């Protein structure tokens, strides 16, 4: 996030974010733009991992920010802003995924893994493994994919994932355990095919 001078001079990122949240709650569009700029890439990354289609992920991200803007005056700060926003993004992505499934009668194909934010892998084999992992995660059931995405890719705690997905922490742990087993099995099968 860009540095913006505050009344007291030097402010931490958290202080600036808290100020932008308060201003945005009061309908300050410039303050909300700072929040959008700060969270745009990670919100898109979450949506892309759920939807597996760049254009749909972009739409879900935009819809999520519109919903966040509309709901922001009611944001009470009981959860961190990022957790609150990820919940909105996740819900919009799952809503859009269901709409796509209904519209096409099938799940959206995996594509454009290379467009994920985060930079390029330094060695080709590392990049191949990362793309394979992305494809394997994309094949997980929706709830497992969301839990894995938030826990590992977004580095959220089990409690934050539970709050974001609206499920008990033990259910999140179950989804994570099942996803790890599925990923491990798929990884071993794929390695055997490539040997």
DSSP string, 60-98: HHHHHHHHHHHHGGG--SSS-HHHHHHHHHHHHHHHHHH
Domain hosting residue 60, numbered range: 1-119
Q: Are residues 43 and 56 in the same domain?
A: yes
Task: State residue 194's pLDDT score.
Answer: 61
Verify that 140 and 186 share a domain, yes or no. Answer: yes
> Are 103 and 165 within one domain?
no
If asked whether residues 115 and 127 sit together in one domain, one would say no
The reply to whether 108 and 16 lie within a common domain is: yes
Cα dist from 121 to 8, 75, 116, 154, 190, whole Å: 41, 38, 12, 18, 20
What is the model's pLDDT at position 22? 92
The secondary structure of residue 195, as a DSSP letter, is: -
* CATH code assigned at 48: 1.10.1740.10
Q: Say if residue 34 is in the same domain as residue 49.
A: yes
Statement to judge: residues 27 and 43 lie in one domain: yes
Q: Are residues 127 and 107 in the same domain?
A: no
Last residue of some domain: 119, 134, 159?
Answer: 119
Q: For residue 70, give the nearest of 4, 107, 24, 19 by alpha carbon.
A: 24
Integer Cα distance of 55 and 120 in angstroms? 21
Tens-digit pLDDT string for the chain (195 aa): 444 444 445 578 888 889 999 999 999 999 999 999 999 999 999 999 888 889 989 999 999 999 999 999 988 888 889 999 999 999 999 888 887 776 654 333 333 333 344 444 444 456 677 778 888 888 889 889 889 888 888 888 899 888 888 889 999 999 998 988 888 888 888 766 664
* pLDDT for 53: 87
| Integer CA distances (angstroms), 19 to 23, 104, 114, in order | 6, 43, 35
Last residue of a domain, one of 84, 99, 119: 119
Rg (CA), the chain: 18
CA distances from 47 to 39, 115, 123, 154 (A): 12, 13, 27, 12
Neighbours of 10 (CB within 10 A): 8
- When divided into structural domains, the chain yields a total of 2
Residue pair 41/89 in contact by the 8 Å Cβ criterion: no
CATH number of the domain that 174 lies in?
1.10.10.10
The answer to whether residues 109 and 161 belong to one domain is no
Structural domain ending residue among the three candidates 84, 119, 154: 119
Give the Cα separation of 110 and 18 in Å (integer). Answer: 37
Instruction: State the pTM of this model.
Output: 0.60
């Amino acid at each position: 996030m860009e540095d913006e001078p505050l009344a007291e001079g030097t402010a931490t990122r958290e202080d600036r974010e808290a100020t932008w949240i308060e201003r945005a709650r009061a309908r300050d569009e410039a303050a909300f733009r700072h929040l959008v700029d700060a969270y745009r890439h990670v919100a898109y990354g979450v949506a892309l991992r759920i939807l597996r289609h760049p254009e749909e992920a972009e739409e879900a991200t935009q819809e999520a920010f519109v919903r966040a803007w509309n709901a922001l005056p009611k944001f009470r700060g009981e959860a961190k802003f990022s957790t609150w926003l990820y919940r909105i993004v996740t819900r919009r992505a799952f809503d859009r995924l269901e709409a796509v499934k209904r519209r096409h009668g099938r799940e959206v194909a995996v594509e454009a893994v290379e467009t994920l934010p985060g930079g390029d892998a330094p060695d080709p084999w590392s990049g191949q493994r990362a793309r394979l992992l992305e494809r394997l995660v994309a094949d997980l059931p929706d709830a497992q994919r969301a839990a894995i995405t938030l826990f590992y890719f977004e580095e959220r705690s089990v409690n934050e994932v539970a709050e974001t997905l609206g499920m008990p922490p033990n259910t999140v742990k179950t989804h994570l355990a099942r996803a790890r087993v599925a990923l491990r099995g798929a990884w071993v099968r794929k390695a055997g095919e490539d040997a």
